[in-house]
Chain A
């Protein structure tokens, strides 16, 4: 077991998959000599060559579209969209095209492609380097969406995504890249897509979350433990397909659910998880399902005060949890 950062886990997962399968290749902006703006592909061009580590023109639609064509041919492209905020030009290729290939050909073709992208804020990224984009993709049948929070989960799920036969949107929270460290096994391993993980066990309240806010939720749970409340933290890890079995098992135990995400409040993952808790555990609830999320403004603003106002911090999560515990 070695202790690594999340960006190191990404780098290891990619390198190991490139070594394992000659069909795997990477395309994206600055992925070659520069090794990626976050260093996810550091030293790759030296080891794997420019044929497999392709520096792309600054044109996201064709990064996704060309990757998709190569995937249909039988290769396993990993397309990097440099910041999730830049994924919108590729939206048509991902949501409009890639997601519909298998259904639209009645199973004759598939798109085994991974689209990796750093997302999320609290990095002084302003409106166009802080966005959370997951809600746009989880709405789309045909896509899988993964958003892990620890080096172990990132590495195991990224390797699983590369080996998956369908298009996977793999979201890496950029604030966690260097701030979150953790142990990863030395040997090859994958984690199943679509399986949540209980990051902390508890009996009084369930927090359902993913990404950076997993860590803030764990901090909040620690604070609340000092106040005598036992909080369970469920890390979804995969947003689509959603592991409702794990969520419902936890909610049935605690009878209270708080959904936490950095993405905007409305029409997002929280709304869907909430609806499914109502459908699956209504009789077990002692309080309404609550959400503690980013607000409905277009994205996290630049100034530190405004950034802080946007972010669901440990304090805000704890406050929401107290309200729910007292209900």
Chain B
């Protein structure tokens, strides 16, 4: 485990991070949590068909994006269904994201053809094509290969969960990226469950990062609820990628506070006690506590962040509820580049 800050209240910032950016991360985390709670509620109201919550994963997602922003000239994110915070940090507005959850006009990634958060937005450096776990990781590697062939320096972040690490595509991707020393970051949000299957039934190793050495690349496991540890480890991996030293496996140890998705019932496989234990690691509370201890966050400022977040999410909800569903006029469009028939 990387220890990113010293005990005793004096914050030892990882290189590149300062109190201002840490407050930015906090404000974003408040916004993400507010949005996440809202879409879950909209699901329960029958308005959002499907939600995969990021609650418990926020520090891993935001800390990594901030590290990429601060430590690379260019980067690109291949995301998965739980990456609400990555998408928000990449510049998708709450209204755009909400339009995705309600499948309304204004959804920017797939025009609501796909599940929330799926599709692509090249300008905001996001591709999230599929629900089939792990399938996007070879694409991330291919993207990095192409950039390297073109001589266009970039760092490619491939986000996925512990469940995806069982897929052969992950093995093939890590192997190839390591052989060719490609600038890929394999960023694993390990919440220790593949829907209901616990880590002990998914792998015999303690950490996914234990596998990295078998591919000839470094692997590190950090507390994914600690934004500073996440930032530092991700920045380190990005620096290696930029230096041409190849890929790194970064495993964020996180908690998943809600069921796998809104269609899941985790009471069938997790106890209340387990969940309560996990709640002690809440990344939002942790960061709030840290900033408060350091004298960077006052109660007033915190309340202000929360009020702003609520206003933004209220507005996003209103706008998306008022927006129409997509029409069917272009239902047949974009099967091919030129409408070729079948």
Contact = CB atoms under 8 A, between A and B. Distances in A.
Contact of B336 (A64, A96, A102): A102
Interface residues of B, number: 45
Contact of A66 (B120, B141, B337): B141
A163 to B, nearest CB: 11
A106 B110 contact: yes
Contacts of A166: 336-337, 340
B145 A108 contact: no
A194 B172 contact: no
A68 interface: yes
A61 B168 contact: yes
A25 interface: yes
B342 A62 contact: no
A244 to B, nearest CB: 9
A298 B132 CA distance: 28
Interface in B96-151: 109-111, 113-114, 118-122, 127, 129-130, 132, 135, 137-147, 149-150
A144 B340 contact: yes
A252 interface: no
Contact of A61 (B122, B145, B169, B338): B169
Contacts of A280: none
A interface, over-half SS: mixed
B173 interface: yes
Contacts of A108: 109, 119-122
A73 B148 CA distance: 11
B280 interface: no
A101 interface: yes
B169 A69 contact: no
Contact of A25 (B132, B149, B176): B149
B341 A62 contact: no
B335 interface: yes
A62 B149 CA distance: 18
A71 interface: yes
B334 interface: yes
Nearest to A113: B142
A141 B120 CA distance: 19
B142 A73 contact: yes
Interface of A: 25, 51-52, 56-57, 59, 61-62, 64-75, 77, 89, 92-93, 96-97, 100-110, 141-142, 144, 164-166, 193-194, 240-242
Given A65-B137, A74-B146, A165-B338, 18 more contacts: A51-B149, A57-B172, A59-B176, A65-B138, A65-B142, A67-B142, A68-B138, A68-B142, A92-B135, A93-B135, A93-B138, A93-B169, A97-B139, A100-B129, A102-B336, A102-B337, A105-B129, A242-B341
